Structure 1
């Protein structure tokens, strides 16, 4: 596969997360609690990925390797817990802005941990993404925002754990088949959610049957697919570019809120969506152009 194929895979992983807020709001409006929604999502999502793992390529793992992958799945669960908690006290448009901070946090961590100084192109791309995110969230046009300290803390924590998920997807268990690795990461996320929320109401048949359609959909797009897609693509594109690619979640969230929830989206918000997509494209086309230029210079020096 070519590099842009892996970039597209990571981009789609971000899109999956962008779908979640719309369908979480639908589940809340149907009368289900955050514990029921999150618990069913991680339970059914983990079952889905294990069903696929049973019929896919597997590698024999040692107990330390299994334990490392389960621990690496903690951010998978915590991201859902923190983000859904922030949605309890913040508007969806504001909560996703806090989650969106993973874009610059990821680049900063890559700089500190891997000593990779961000290029001018990457910094420009991040600047475009941040401006686009502010416009897409409607913060300016809506005339002020309603902040709560609880929602702010939960939102920023979700950004940190989402960044951790991106980095761990690219660094832990590189030689393990993607489906098997994703299944173990999802299991770690499920254990985390069950320990925090203890959704005992899911033991009642009417509750689990009612929330199951939401949990199945959210589990597929929020638990099963993202770790799998990140596992396949992140090790090839790297966490720095990966954080930019996963910025696709915010445009998807805005588009679905308009189409599914019938929320009004202003012209400036649509412009923000276009800016975000433009920033992602800019980050991906600049690199190949630079490589082509360097290759051209090398060929000239030979002659």
Structure 2
């Protein structure tokens, strides 16, 4: 596969996350609690991905490697817990802008841990994305009184753990088959969620049956697909570009809130969506251009020798 195809895979993973806030808001409006929503998401998602793992390629893993993959799933579970908690104290447009800070945190991680400082092109791309996120979130038309410190804290924590998962998924046990690796990630996430926020309501069969449709969609879009897509694409695009590509979640969240929830989306928000998409394209083109330049330079050196 080519680099742009791996980039597209990561982009789709980000779009999956963008759809979550719509289904979460629908579940909240149906009367379900945050712990029930998160618990059903990971319960259904883990069941789905292990069913897929039964029919996919597997590799025999040692207990230390299994433990490492389970631990690597912790930030996946924490992201849902923190983000859904922020949705309890902030409206969706504000909560997602704090989650969206993973865009620059990802480049910071790459700089600190991989010793790869961001290029000028990447900095410009991130700047466009942040400006676009401000417009797309609708924060300009929201009073400061609607912002709570608790909401900011939960939102920033979700950005940190989301970045951590993106970073980990691109570096841990690279030779493990994708579905098997993702299944262990999600299992670790489910254990984390069940320990920190026990969904006791799911023990009641009527509640479980009622929330099952929401859990299915949330599990598919938030637990099953992103880990698989990130596991496939991240090693080839890197966490820096990966975080830029996964920023597709914000415009998707805005578009779905308009179509599904019939929420008003202003012209400034649509402008923000366009800016974000432009930032994603700019970041991707910059990386592709750099790789082509390096490849042509190496070919020239080989020809000269």
**Alignment RMSD (CA, Å):** 1.4
Cα offset, 1:142, TM superposition: 3.8
- Is the alpha carbon distance of 1:145 and 1:246 closer, same or farther for their aligned partners in structure 2, counting shifts above 3 Å? farther
Task: Give the aligned partner of residue 243 of structure 1.
Answer: 243
Task: Give the aligned partner of residue 124 of structure 2.
Answer: 124
Task: Give the aligned partner of residue 146 of structure 2.
Answer: 146
Q: Show structure 1 runs of 5+ residues with no match.
A: none
Distance in 2 (alpha carbons) for counterparts of 1:41 and 1:86: 17
Q: Do structure 1's residue 171 and structure 2's residue 133 form an aligned pair? A: no
- Is the alpha carbon distance of 1:3 and 1:145 closer, same or farther for their aligned partners in structure 2, counting shifts above 3 Å? farther
Distance in 2 (alpha carbons) for counterparts of 1:74 and 1:121: 32
Q: How does 1:1-303 map to 2 (within 5 A)?
A: 1-142=1-142, 144=144, 146-295=146-295
Distance in 2 (alpha carbons) for counterparts of 1:71 and 1:296: 41
Cα offset, 1:287, TM superposition: 2.3
- Is the alpha carbon distance of 1:202 and 1:294 closer, same or farther for their aligned partners in structure 2, counting shifts above 3 Å? closer
- Is the alpha carbon distance of 1:43 and 1:300 closer, same or farther for their aligned partners in structure 2, counting shifts above 3 Å? closer
Q: Show structure 2 runs of 5+ residues with no match.
A: none
Conserved in 2, the CA contact under 8 Å of 1:132 and 1:271?
A: yes
Cα offset, 1:184, TM superposition: 0.2
Cα offset, 1:147, TM superposition: 1.2
Runs of 4+ in structure 1 off by over 2 angstroms are 141-145, 287-303
Distance in 2 (alpha carbons) for counterparts of 1:300 and 1:171: 32
Q: How many residues align?
A: 303
The TM-score, its normalising length taken from structure 2, stands at 0.96
Conserved in 2, the CA contact under 8 Å of 1:39 and 1:193?
A: yes
The TM-score, its normalising length taken from structure 1, stands at 0.97
Deviations 1:225-255 (A, max 9, x none): 1111111110111111101000000000000
- Is the alpha carbon distance of 1:214 and 1:119 closer, same or farther for their aligned partners in structure 2, counting shifts above 3 Å? same
Cα offset, 1:173, TM superposition: 1.1
Conserved in 2, the CA contact under 8 Å of 1:69 and 1:188?
A: yes
Cα offset, 1:288, TM superposition: 2.3
Conserved in 2, the CA contact under 8 Å of 1:139 and 1:145?
A: no
